Amino acid sequence: MIRTQISLPEADYAAAKAEAERLGISLAELVRRSLRNALPLDSDQPWMRYAGMVESGDPQSSQHVDEIVYGAKP
């Protein structure tokens, strides 16, 4: 990991610290996650854009993902 330093306006710093605390993560982790969301996706894995977007509410959904993604079987 590479260590870096940034400057933030006080209001942004306070808001970021509060959000990190709300999520139960460090400020550094909040910044890392935010950067991952802002940076272009790896073109070798374009499907990753959709990872985590589908919520079925079914705890067994991984066992029948095709039906969730593509619809019920005929």
Q: Which alpha helices (DSSP H) does 24-70 contain, by range? A: 27-38, 65-70
Average pLDDT over residues 55-68: 66
Sequence ranges of the domains in the chain: 8-43
Both tokens assigned to 1: 């990991």
Q: Please tell me the predicted confidence (pLDDT) of residue 16.
A: 97
Question: Which pTM does this prediction carry?
Answer: 0.56
Q: Please tell me the predicted confidence (pLDDT) of residue 39.
A: 81
Give per-residue pLDDT as tens, 1-49: 889 999 999 999 999 999 999 999 999 999 998 988 888 766 666 655 5
Q: Please tell me the predicted confidence (pLDDT) of residue 47.
A: 59
CA atoms within 13 A of residue 25's CA, in its CB half-sphere? 12
